[in-house]
Amino acid sequence: MVIEKTELAAGMMLTGRYKGQEHRVLVLGNEADLSFELDGATVYKSLSSAAKAAMGGGSASVNGWRFFSIAGSEPAREAPERKTKAKATGPRTVTQIKKRRKQEGCSVGEVAWWCSACMEGFCVPCGETPDVCPQGHPREVEDELAPVN
């Protein structure tokens, strides 16, 4: 949550997270001359320089007013959902004849297709979808080893 300078006062604690690590900043000074103590160590004159140091001090600039939040006001972080692949219960259908992205090598009025079984391209008239390639490979096959989508 973005904070405003008018919201800050000496003694306030700010928090920010970077690469899973929480950084804390203690606001020091008075309303006219604030400074910021990062993780109980170094004191910085600007909140942005404290945020930059929390992120490793690289050459990129960091907006400290966006990086930090007033302690206790940051939104609750939910644990990320772990995606698990569903266990397949049998063979899956795999399409092995697909329309080529680049429509090269065919005459006007034809569409370029590719067969991944024989690794060859071929052309068919526009509007037709081939059920087999010229070598006889079917458009779709059942494959027990194919990954689950």
Domain ranges in the chain are 5-70, 92-143
What predicted TM-score, i.e. pTM, was given to this entire model? Answer: 0.47
* CA 133 – CA 92 distance, rounded (Å): 20
* CA 132 – CA 81 distance, rounded (Å): 41
How many CB atoms are closer than 10 A to CB 118? 15
| Range of weakest confidence among 31-45, 66-80, 119-133 | 66-80
Our measurement of the distance from residue 120's CA atom to the centroid of its chain's CA atoms, rounded to an integer in Å, reads 35
Give the mean model confidence (pLDDT) for residues 32-41. Answer: 87
Alpha helices in 2-102 (DSSP H): 47-54, 64-67
pLDDT over 90 at 56, yes or no? no
Quick one: pLDDT at residue 125? 93
User: In the chain, what's the furthest Cα-to-Cα distance?
Assistant: 82
Give the mean model confidence (pLDDT) for residues 55-82. Answer: 75
**Segment 74-118, tens digit of pLDDT:** 555 555 666 665 555 667 888 899 999 888 889 999 999 999 989
* CA 104 – CA 120 distance, rounded (Å): 13
